[in-house]
Structure 1
Amino acid sequence: MTEIELKFVLNEESIRRLKSRLKGLELNESAARTRTLRSVYYDTPEHSLRKAGTALRIRRDGRRWIQTVKARASINGGLLRAQEVENPAPGGRLDLTRIPVLAVRAEVEEAIAGAELVPVCETQMKRVTSVLTLENGARVELAIDSGEIIAGELREPFREAELELLEGDVDSLYDLTQTLFPDGGLHLSTMSKSERGYMLAETGRAQTEPLPRNACTVPLSAEMTSEIAARDVLRECFEQISANIEVVLFTDAPEGPHQLRIGLRRLRAAFGMFKPVIGHPEMLRLNEEAKIIGAQVGVLRDLDVVITDIIDPEHEAHPHEQGFNALRSAIEARREAVREELREYLRSERAQSFQIDLARFIETRRWLAPEDFEQTARLAQPIRELSCKALGKRWKSCVKHARGIDQLTIDERHELRKELKKLRYTIEFLGPLYSQKKVARFVKTMKKMQNIFGDLNDLAMAEELLCKNDSPGARNANAQRAVGWVLGARSARAAAAWSNAKRLWHDVTVTGPFWR
């Protein structure tokens, strides 16, 4: 059978709130059931099953022993899908010949290739389960696990909730998530317990440390339909956003807000790119939510940039100017206040709803509109056809905004910068469909153009941040002297860079649209 689950990492407080919330909902079919589960995961010494994407375990559930194989597992939008096959395991002994689905048995035997199977890790969990019936008739099993993940002598406590779909559609899992966790602060689990056990054995940790996540290339191919391409691109955007929300919440790494803002911008660029295919009122709403979150993240990111990319280099160039220390201290104080405000927002119900609704939009094909009789043809359109139109549209907008480039006002330069960025993201998404040599040459030329706009944007952002009555260090004479150094140097740099704008734009147009 295909197992479909949403999983969430919990702590003692969130478990308490979840159980309290559950009592007031009256969704239980019967009283909650509590039992102790011990699961031992087996693999070859070389972890051949893990490499094949398969988990093999023996579980003791009360007096019963059960052998389970989970194959072809995938996690997207927090949603775990896997083929699960179970059979009795008398005495807790492995017996591959008892796997009832022949195709799954063949996959396991092929992966093992006759090698010895040994225990890798285990979990010992107290599990509280409830079967919940929703108003739409869907049935979901809620399992709340509290216990330990064990690998050899290593042990680590772990708490998790699982929502497993028993009957109904996947949409019901997301509905129930919003119902059970209405207050925000939810953390999607993106790893199975077996993966955590392997990680504990290898690294001594069963939970990953939040690390900034850059955008990854989506392996699009010319024969893909536009709908599948849209789904895969949006999944990548979701993963980048979700991972970097965790980084912002739990670390002070400057790369966290930077990559979160990029992820939100890429999402909005993807929405624009695929609008002819998956255009839907829900997409427009999510786009606006991404814009709102991006604006809040941008405040923190701008403060990081002012400190590390603007003030620190100037201080290094003028080490005897004491005003830089005063200015940096004032901006750091502002940054910490902004960081806490952002964290509070990212824990809020609104930010959580954005994440859950974005995952739902992607994983349940929320864009389908039964009344749109032409939608099927658009969804089935080859992505290569759509890509030419999308790139052409972005290119046309850039050309329009670059007319008379020597005479552009500050605002017009800013608009051109935004259009170039949208084109860049579109190329990053669709580039795999074209000659990599041509794509690389075009992007290299365009990067030079974008560097100019980076200098201009840094100057505008520094002026906006440092030149107001309530700016950090506004009442400190030494800090204001440092502001003069910063703005003077940045103005000279931006002016020198802009003098090359017309030539670089000419280079971009000569290198020219590779998609034609």
Structure 2
Amino acid sequence: MKPIAPIRQPISAALLLAIPTSDPAKLVRQLARTPPLQRRKPTYQVLDAVYHDTPEQRLHQQHITWRTQRVDGDEPVQWRQFLHVEKRENATLRRYEEWTSPIRSSTPEMGVLQSSTGSRIDPDGTAFRTLAPCFSTRTERTSWSIHQRDGSLIDVVLNVGHLSAGGQTVPVFELELVLLAGHPAALFEVAQKISRTLAVLPTPTSSAERGLALARGTLDAPLKALPVALKKDVSLAFAAGCMLNEMLGQFIANLYALCTSEDPEVVHQARVGWRRFKSAVRLFRPALLVESLPSWEPLEPLLGFLGTLRDLDVALTETLPRLNEAYTAGDIGREETWAAMTQAMQQAAHLQRKSVRYALQAPEVGTVLLETLRWIEGLLVTTEAEEPLGKKLVALRPWARHRVGRLHKQLTAAAKDIGDLESQHRIRILAKRMRYSTESLQTFLPKMRAERWHQQAACLQATLGFTRDTIRASALAAEVGTDPRLVEFLRGAAAGQQTRDATQKNGKI
């Protein structure tokens, strides 16, 4: 029997939304009551899927997903395979092509794909011969189709279930908006309407990527800054959009990991992502049209909780361990006092982490993040050789040298007066901005100069950071009811460190 030719789906754009919840029972009802989906009849399926890759994850490295899938309850059992090829580019939306064909079992079949894209991704068949199951999913899928007046057609797909790999199982709560016809702006419009009543987070990570991370043992690991590949002749607006998209993605990915992770580094990287993003907005602001940039005021409660949680984590894992022996000195009474303080601060950190997770349940958080992502999309839709309307074309390399050089001069001048806390705080902020700027624009800066400036800023930030952290630790110790004598010791340690900073660093950078 001749194999049935695979069906090629046209290139689609999709917007992925993670749902920060631990209660799946209400999700379908909550989503059905959102304005875009009211009075629309959904379809339901229960899907079993197996995702395949080579031991070296060659498909994943090429941004390819190969899954086999069946609909639970179908008689006879009907398996299909899906070859999903993502077009990796600097964009806020995911764009991909997909081929699908019926198969006999859950094992992939190369023959039916050979005439389409199979020969292109695996010309000699070596990858196919080593394919093996990596992870599996079982999800309840609820889908709605939205036909809008402007002619756009969007599928809203809710997947609720679990991922399984290596004997581990984790829940899946994922909402995907797929554009079948129309302009990508329609995806943001529908997503923002949903987000006003249901807490969601735009996420750069798909279920397939989460499954591979689970198989590798890296699920919910802290996401650090990633390099952004740019041509050297791109426009300033396009470069800004690419960098801001990566930075916001770092912030959001770590926020979502915080829903389940207890790792202090996840908190740290979430705050790093947000600081990098705000620093880059400030860096690029003079050259961009920012009138449409949304207000971030709804994020302030979440950011405040994150800041306090990070302060507690730093105190417990970095600052206080350095000072433990200096205070206790083998005295049993002091050791008991120190242990009581540590226990009280651990409890405070536990409660603060709960506050962060509660803040993520606020719908306005997802709404603001979607609005910000849509603003970034506006920067990216400019071609690589043009700027937004009303802005002159700016050469990126000289612009980067000028902007970062100006920032270095500001930091050098500020470092000449390091004596008081206010000056130290300003210098730390400038040092962070200097670090983030040299990291993001290093491709466009003289290599030796960028490395020197980055090292100087990092050293200055670290030196002043310990003083600030000790002051903050003493304040937190007082807040949790620590013995006043121990609080005074911490304050004295901070004062001594501040004096050393002023003596050693004045005028040096």
Q: TM-score, normalised by structure 2?
A: 0.80
Structure 2 CA distance for partners of 1:67 and 1:29, relative to 1, 3 Å: farther
Cα deviations by residue, 1:184-205 (Å, 9 ceiling, x for unpaired) = 54355544454455556x45x7
Please tell me whether residue 426 in structure 1 is matched to residue 437 in structure 2. yes
Give the conservation status (yes or no) of the 8 Å contact 1:18–1:181.
no
Partner letter of residue 112 of structure 1? Answer: G
- Indicate the percent of aligned positions where both proteins have the same amino acid: 21
Please tell me whether residue 486 in structure 1 is matched to residue 455 in structure 2. no
Post-superposition shift, 1:271?
0.2
Could you tell me which of 300, 307, 310 is aligned with 1:298? Answer: 307
Cα deviations by residue, 1:460-488 (Å, 9 ceiling, x for unpaired) = 43465456xxx332xx6xx1111122122
Structure 2 CA distance for partners of 1:197 and 1:217, relative to 1, 3 Å: closer
Could you tell me which of 228, 235, 257 is aligned with 2:267? Answer: 257
Could you tell me which of 438, 442, 446 is aligned with 2:453? Answer: 442
Cα deviations by residue, 1:407-458 (Å, 9 ceiling, x for unpaired) = x543233223322221222112112323434322333233333333224423
Give the conservation status (yes or no) of the 8 Å contact 2:471–2:494.
no
Post-superposition shift, 1:389?
2.5
- How does 1:31-180 map onto structure 2 within 5 Å? 31-37=41-47, 39=49, 41=51, 43=53, 47-60=57-70, 66-74=80-88, 79-86=93-100, 88-89=101-102, 99=113, 104-110=117-123, 112=125, 116=129, 118=131, 120=133, 123=137, 125-134=139-148, 136-146=150-160, 158-180=172-194
Structure 1 equivalent of residue 3 of structure 2: none
Could you tell me which of 1, 13, 16 is aligned with 1:7? Answer: 16
Give the conservation status (yes or no) of the 8 Å contact 1:221–1:432.
no
* Inter-partner Cα distance in structure 2 for 1:330 and 1:20: 38
* Inter-partner Cα distance in structure 2 for 1:375 and 1:483: 54
Give the conservation status (yes or no) of the 8 Å contact 1:456–1:494.
yes
Structure 2 CA distance for partners of 1:366 and 1:349, relative to 1, 3 Å: farther
* Inter-partner Cα distance in structure 1 for 2:165 and 2:475: 54
Please tell me whether residue 356 in structure 1 is matched to residue 370 in structure 2. yes
Structure 2 CA distance for partners of 1:143 and 1:76, relative to 1, 3 Å: farther
Structure 2 CA distance for partners of 1:290 and 1:419, relative to 1, 3 Å: farther
* Inter-partner Cα distance in structure 2 for 1:329 and 1:437: 47
Structure 2 CA distance for partners of 1:271 and 1:231, relative to 1, 3 Å: same
* Inter-partner Cα distance in structure 1 for 2:79 and 2:151: 32
* Inter-partner Cα distance in structure 2 for 1:449 and 1:434: 21
* Inter-partner Cα distance in structure 2 for 1:339 and 1:367: 38
Please tell me whether residue 268 in structure 1 is matched to residue 282 in structure 2. no
> Which deviates more, 165-174 or 71-80?
71-80
Structure 2 CA distance for partners of 1:135 and 1:101, relative to 1, 3 Å: farther
* Inter-partner Cα distance in structure 1 for 2:253 and 2:167: 30
Post-superposition shift, 1:388?
1.7
Partner letter of residue 245 of structure 1? Answer: L
- How does 1:399-414 map onto structure 2 within 5 Å? 399-402=412-415, 405=417, 408-414=419-425
Please tell me whether residue 501 in structure 1 is matched to residue 505 in structure 2. yes
Structure 2 equivalent of residue 307 of structure 1: 316
Cα deviations by residue, 1:297-350 (Å, 9 ceiling, x for unpaired) = 222222333333333322222322243234334434443333333332232122
Post-superposition shift, 1:390?
1.7
Post-superposition shift, 1:229?
1.8
Post-superposition shift, 1:165?
1.0
Give the conservation status (yes or no) of the 8 Å contact 2:67–2:81.
yes
Cα deviations by residue, 1:99-151 (Å, 9 ceiling, x for unpaired) = 5985x354234373585375525555543322113465432112233456567
- SS of equivalent residue, structure 1 residue 250: coil
* Inter-partner Cα distance in structure 2 for 1:485 and 1:364: 53
Structure 2 equivalent of residue 514 of structure 1: none
Give the conservation status (yes or no) of the 8 Å contact 1:5–1:81.
yes
- SS of equivalent residue, structure 2 residue 491: helix
Post-superposition shift, 1:268?
0.8
Please tell me whether residue 230 in structure 1 is matched to residue 240 in structure 2. yes
* Inter-partner Cα distance in structure 1 for 2:456 and 2:34: 60
Structure 2 CA distance for partners of 1:75 and 1:173, relative to 1, 3 Å: farther
Structure 1 equivalent of residue 400 of structure 2: 387
Post-superposition shift, 1:361?
2.2
* Inter-partner Cα distance in structure 2 for 1:307 and 1:152: 33
Q: TM-score, normalised by structure 1?
A: 0.79
Structure 2 CA distance for partners of 1:398 and 1:362, relative to 1, 3 Å: same
- SS of equivalent residue, structure 2 residue 431: helix
Partner letter of residue 335 of structure 1? Answer: A
Partner letter of residue 145 of structure 1? Answer: N
Partner letter of residue 472 of structure 1? Answer: V
- SS of equivalent residue, structure 2 residue 379: coil
Give the conservation status (yes or no) of the 8 Å contact 2:146–2:154.
yes
Structure 2 equivalent of residue 472 of structure 1: 480
Structure 2 CA distance for partners of 1:37 and 1:306, relative to 1, 3 Å: closer
Structure 2 CA distance for partners of 1:302 and 1:119, relative to 1, 3 Å: closer
* Inter-partner Cα distance in structure 1 for 2:81 and 2:473: 62
Specify every segment of 5 or more residues in structure 2 that has no aligned partner in the other structure, as ranges: 1-9
* Inter-partner Cα distance in structure 1 for 2:152 and 2:96: 20
Structure 2 CA distance for partners of 1:230 and 1:15, relative to 1, 3 Å: farther
* Inter-partner Cα distance in structure 1 for 2:313 and 2:391: 43
Structure 2 CA distance for partners of 1:150 and 1:290, relative to 1, 3 Å: closer
> Which deviates more, 186-195 or 354-363?
186-195
Post-superposition shift, 1:53?
2.3
Structure 2 equivalent of residue 512 of structure 1: none
Post-superposition shift, 1:218?
3.1
Give the conservation status (yes or no) of the 8 Å contact 2:238–2:380.
no
* Inter-partner Cα distance in structure 2 for 1:349 and 1:329: 34
- SS of equivalent residue, structure 1 residue 484: helix
Structure 2 CA distance for partners of 1:124 and 1:355, relative to 1, 3 Å: same
- SS of equivalent residue, structure 2 residue 425: helix
Give the conservation status (yes or no) of the 8 Å contact 1:310–1:486.
no
Structure 2 CA distance for partners of 1:445 and 1:455, relative to 1, 3 Å: same
Cα deviations by residue, 1:65-86 (Å, 9 ceiling, x for unpaired) = 6554321344978743212234
Structure 2 equivalent of residue 186 of structure 1: 200
* Inter-partner Cα distance in structure 2 for 1:156 and 1:331: 30
Partner letter of residue 125 of structure 2? Answer: I
Structure 2 CA distance for partners of 1:111 and 1:177, relative to 1, 3 Å: farther
